[in-house]
Structure 1
């Protein structure tokens, strides 16, 4: 993977040209160290996930090749390491492991910035732009500070550079996402056999997550949604604490986490193992909309156009007001992956397609979601192995 990360950094450096940029891993909360993940931009460019406080300096105009990308790590703290785990000293082993020829401590950053300012006087912001009322991004704050001390410098907006690169997945990334989807398929297969009246939603969640782990995953990509009955109509239902009731539907939205990437799949199944006539009616409308939208996926189409395909079918069936969210999102290092300005999809994009109809007055919520990779001429449904038709779901629930 070192070659992959190096290529990504080279692409960013090519966009920066003669300006410098900073990417921050972010800092872990002392009480949440074990669950900490770096900022996705940092992980995308380095693959490093265990160095809270780390910084990447990109300086492509430097005359010395080994100084064009520098990894900066916080100083070692023996007491902290006893609590949170050992860290390596800076040396050849760490350089070989990370693929960085130059690694320094973060205490060297002021000196490095002074050197950059003396040479290029052009700085690019790479971290996401803060919203109104929020604290400005750390790189913009630093470049502002540098410019106060450096006459004639300028700050360039490059905040879309990394998201745009992230919007097109490499073959390696798609393969990892496929593995996460396959792990998710194992979880859904087990959950479909497990669901029965009287089972608590949380036990369904536990079944999913147990299967993810046994298949090689590292937990869930996001907190699973397991909503039965009225809870199936709540898009981001999170309690998962009610017993499933005979005659209800249960909407399951979940995905395994694997090597930094996650799946995101939704299936809606009958608690009793068989859809009622009304449930089947609603379900098959959503299914037609989802499958039509998937068939429309190809390079050049937009998510808005895919949304319109599904929405037209649902609206024609009389349920347009009950499709209350958009068709989907990019998928990658983040479940809702940060992928730059909304525009036409390119080959290599991975998206979700997830229409739904939600009828609280009937306690019927149906969402069907698949993970789709955009190919040269169309698409590949990464989650096609997970039962989706009415008959396939009923068979899966019978263990067939």
Structure 2
């Protein structure tokens, strides 16, 4: 059995060093976020925190980055919530801060969170510059955690400024390392097993939820911790609703079903959409629309390469759909970055080699209860791209053959 991909502690260290270099003479602070998993599923940290540390089980943690520290081992400090024996009776034991924990995380400076205000204040007094790394929220949303605490600190230190470094992590996360690409590839492989299960089993009379259950059972049975996002399984008219999520209607003979789903692997997401005939056979009209969308997908994937933009990729698909007379029925963008978030952080720049993106044209004709979307995940290369999800059947002949089997 081949070894499963993973992210090493040395890679997390390399990421932190890249951020320290980008901070220059300012202080950065990234919070994991609060919360817990009590009785309602697993907790996920802030993706920027996970990207820098790999830690996924410490709500309330934070990592301080101080490039002005002369001792390199103190340039990165991890803060963890205090141990609480009463809470741990319910939620499980947590680690002591010792040499084993330092080796586990690859961070030599670790303290409990009550020490954060003192350490941050000392760093701010020295640097007089606090850098926001977390994307700023709209005015009607809560202020980002780093900006909120920096505002309080700056009010108490004359001459201390708050600067914008929100593009720093965005640009780093937009280019995936070989190990990150391997994780997305594995997520795609596991996703393919789920779609294959659906193709071989789905039939009229089943419920949309049955399709969701088949997919997600396959994910968890093959090394995933579950879906990377809420599965969409929309039959008939529901397939024309982009973010349909009820998944509760009976699948009817003669309808198409739009399935948008992807497995999570070690925090990295796959994001795949396929459109299948519920009874295993496309009608002539369904073939017509499906063929247009598939042609648009192939044309847009052919445009992907380092240096191109989403606008250029979108145009390749939209030109084909417009020419066919269905431009008004393709009303969303062509794709997005993919990684620790299914709609991963996206810097305002052309695509770079190593980016992982989705490509997903569609046509949605509500009056005919006819929706088609096809989506693949690709890695951007110098001269093109590598399709990570092409093994999941998408040709009309391939789909019908597998459904007959």
TM-score of the two chains, using structure 1 as the length reference? 0.98
Q: Which residue number corresponds to residue 85 of structure 1?
A: 92
- Give the distance between the partners of 1:300 and 1:376, measured in 2 at CA: 8
- The question of 1:281 aligning with 2:288 is answered yes
Q: Report the counterpart of residue 332 of structure 2 in structure 1.
A: 325
> Which residue of structure 2 lines up, in the alignment, with residue 213 of structure 1?
220
Aligned with 1:267 (options 250, 256, 274): 274
CA contact (8 A) 2:58 2:80 kept: yes
The answer to whether structure 1 residue 203 and structure 2 residue 202 are counterparts is: no
Aligned to 2:351: 345
1:65 aligns with 2:72: yes
SS in 2 for 1:366: strand
Task: State how far apart, in whole Å, the 1-side matches of 2:237 and 2:145 are.
Answer: 43
- SS of 1:240's partner is coil
The reply to whether residue 159 of structure 1 matches residue 166 of structure 2 is yes
CA contact (8 A) 1:165 1:339 kept: no
- Tell me the residue number matched to 1:387: 393
Pair 1:3-2:10 in alignment: yes
Shift of 1:30: 6.8
Residue 357, structure 1, aligned to residue 351, structure 2:
no
The runs of at least 4 consecutive aligned structure 1 residues that moved more than 3 Å come to 29-34
Distance 1:25 1:314 in 2: 43
Alignment length (residue pairs): 398
Matched, 1:122 2:133: no
Distance (Å, rounded) in 1 between the aligned partners of 2:44 and 2:268? 12
| 1:328-347 deviation line (CA, Å, top 9, x unaligned) | 11000000001222x21000
Query: What's the CA shift string for 1:114-148, capped at 9, x where partnerless?
Result: 21123111110111201112222121122221121
Aligned-partner SS, 2:320: helix
Q: Is the Cα–Cα contact under 8 Å of residues 125 and 156 in structure 1 kept in the other structure?
A: yes
Query: What are the ranges of 5 or more consecutive residues in structure 1 without an aligned counterpart?
Result: none
Q: Structure 1 residue 181 and structure 2 residue 183: aligned?
A: no
| Mapped partners of 1:29, 1:70: distance in 2 | 23
Alpha-carbon distance in 1 for matches of 2:228, 2:250: 24
CA displacement, residues 1-30 of structure 1 (integer Å, 9 cap, x when unaligned): 101100000001000011111000000157
- Normalization by structure 2: what TM-score? 0.97
Q: Deviations over 1:319-376 (max 9, x none)?
A: 00000100011000000001222x2100000000000000111010000000010012
Query: Offset at 1:31?
Result: 4.7
Q: Could you tell me how far apart the structure 2 residues matched to 1:381 and 1:360 are?
A: 30
Cα 1:32–1:355 change in 2 (3 A) is farther
Quote the Cα distance in structure 1 between the aligned partners of 2:281 and 2:148. Answer: 58
The alignment status of 1:113 with 2:117, answered yes or no, reads no
The partner residue of 1:235 within 242, 247, 253 is 242
Taking the aligned partners of 1:32 and 1:61, their CA distance within structure 2 comes to 43
Q: What residue is the counterpart of 2:297 in the other structure?
A: 290
* Aligned match for 2:382, one of 376, 381, 387: 376
Query: Partner residue of 1:76?
Result: 83
Q: 1:362 to 1:34 in 2, by over 3 A?
A: closer
Deviation (angstroms), 1:154: 1.4
- The answer to whether the aligner puts 1:224 opposite 2:231 as a matched pair is yes
Whole-Å separation in 1 of the counterparts to 2:373 and 2:208:
17
For 1:98 and 1:227, how far apart are their aligned partners in 2? 42
SS of 2:34's equivalent in the other structure is coil
Partner Cα separation in structure 1 for residue 136 and residue 386 of structure 2 = 33
Q: 2:52 aligned with 1:48, yes or no? A: no
Deviations 1:92-132 (A, max 9, x none): 01000000101001100111022112311111011120111
- Structure 2 gaps of 5+ residues are 1-7
Aligned residues of 1:262 and 1:332 also touching (Cα < 8 A):
yes
Q: Is the 8 A contact 1:90 1:103 kept in 2?
A: yes
Deviates more, 1:280-289 or 1:63-72: 63-72
Give the structure 1 partner of residue 321 of structure 2: 314
Residue 289 of structure 1 and its aligned partner are, at CA, apart by 0.2
Distance 1:49 1:260 in 2: 9
State the SS of the aligned residue for 1:13. helix
Kept in 2: contact 1:74–1:106 (CA 8 A)? yes
CA distance in 1, matches of 2:319, 2:129: 49
Q: Say what the alpha-carbon RMSD is for the aligned residues.
A: 1.1
Counterpart residue number, 1:98: 105
Look up the SS of the partner of 1:288 in the other structure: helix
Structure 1 CA distance for aligned equivalents of residues 76 and 198 of structure 2: 46
- Equivalent position to 2:197, from 162, 186, 190: 190
2:391 is the counterpart of 1:398? no
Aligned residue for 2:27?
A: 20
Q: Distance in 1 between matches of 2:91 and 2:343?
A: 29
